[in-house]
Amino acid sequence: MATTTEVQDNFVKGAKALSEEADARVVERLSKGDAERAAQRERRKEKEKEEANPRENVDKFNQSQQQEAESIRRSLQEVEERPPSTKDEIHVAKGTFEGLRLRVLEMEKAAASASYFLSAYDVRATSDLAKDLKARIDSVQKKVLPRKAFTFRRRRVMKERNASDEATTAARDVTRAKGAAEKAEAENKGPAGGVEVEAKGMKVESREGEVVTLTQEKVTSDDIEIGSSKDCTFYVLAKVAVLRLVNLTNCRVFCGPVEGSLYLEEARDSLVMAAAHQVRLHKANKVDFYLRSRSYPIIEKCSEVRFAPYSFRYDGLEAELERTRLDEENELWTDVKDFGWLKSTPSPNWAILPVEQRLEEVMKS
């Protein structure tokens, strides 16, 4: 039988062993905690390093460009493999192509913003990538969305006309086109710092809170100025050679094809929907433009202006668009030239109007 002393010794030894084991566990936990905290600090440092200026990570930038390009190619492949056949499918396909072009435009803007840290080789590579994608989009769109057949039907009808009618019609069209071109050229010789807005034809001005419709029967000239108006809606359904918009506030202008130029001088909180051979905009603020043009839209001293594709419709518009050579959508509304922005970075004065914020197709009966 163990003596009292032996029991006490055994108790002390057991307590000491337990204490040492507990201490070891505490030390182990502390060591693990220290190691984990050290690892977290390292991960945090790496993350902070990456996020300090992520645009300056060339490899990361190039990888993101390639990933976006591959995504665009896959979308094109899907459209090409399942071409649209119904009216609704064609409408969806048009939206898809427009969206893809906007994505390429965003890639170009990102490349322009990153050009200060990219090498010359990387800049050329991103530029070539965007060009290839644009060409691919155009190729697939032409393949799955051929141009409307009415162009060829019109040619057939023309052949059936007698020689006298053909000569008369051709002469009239040439005279009209020549006159419009001469007017447009004359207007372009105005001062570079602004837009010459002195009207030579019909003026519609000083209106407030009205809806004004200009049909062919109501106009007295093909040179039209709409000016000094507030809270109005204007529909221009007549044949127009030159359209001038001057000093408009909270107005909406919907216009058919303009054979020459569309000029705007001062507008705010407004909307303009027009097709023209040339578009020049001066001093516009918070104005949405739905355009189709045969040249790049030009802005100067503008701010917070946004652009979208032309979407106005009325009876006889398709024929007028074809007659004025404005029947083909060329996406030039996505490539606005800001004469007041000389830096290599994209102009902050204009933007693409987001699809979800655009007006649906505007119909005028």
pLDDT tens digits, one per residue of 246-264: 999 999 999 999 998 999 9
- Evaluate whether residue 117 is within a structural domain: yes
Let me know whether 128 and 170 are in one domain.
Answer: no
Domain end point (choices 123, 144, 165): 144
Q: What is the mean pLDDT of residues 98-117?
A: 79
What span, in angstroms and rounded, lies between the C-alpha atoms of 301 and 350?
Answer: 11
Q: What is the pTM of this model?
A: 0.53
Structural contact between residues 236 and 215, judged by C-beta atoms closer than 8 angstroms: no
**Structural domain for 191, as ranges:** 150-364
Distance of CA 318 to the CA centre of its chain: 24
Please indicate, yes or no, if residue 29 is contained in any of the structural domains.
no
Residues 208 and 70 in one domain: no
User: In CATH, what number is assigned to the domain containing residue 250?
Assistant: 2.160.20.70
In a domain, 233, yes or no: yes
Q: What is the pLDDT of residues 194-250, one digit of tens each?
A: 333 444 689 999 999 999 999 989 988 889 999 999 999 999 998 899 999 999 999
Residue that terminates a domain, selected from 144, 166, 200: 144
pLDDT one-digit tens code per residue, 288-321:
999 999 888 999 999 999 999 999 999 999 999 9
Domain count, the chain: 2
* Cross-strand partners of 201: none
**Which positions ≥6 away from 8 have C-beta within 8 Å?**
none
4 in a structural domain: no
Q: Are 202 and 240 in contact (CB under 8 A)?
A: no
Q: Any idea what the CATH number is for the domain that residue 132 is in?
A: 1.20.58
Residues 134 and 277 in one domain: no
* CA gap 312, 290 in Å, rounded: 9
Question: Does residue 205 share a domain with residue 86?
Answer: no
Clarify whether residues 226 and 322 are in a common domain: yes
Instruction: Identify the domain boundary among 100, 129, 144.
Output: 144
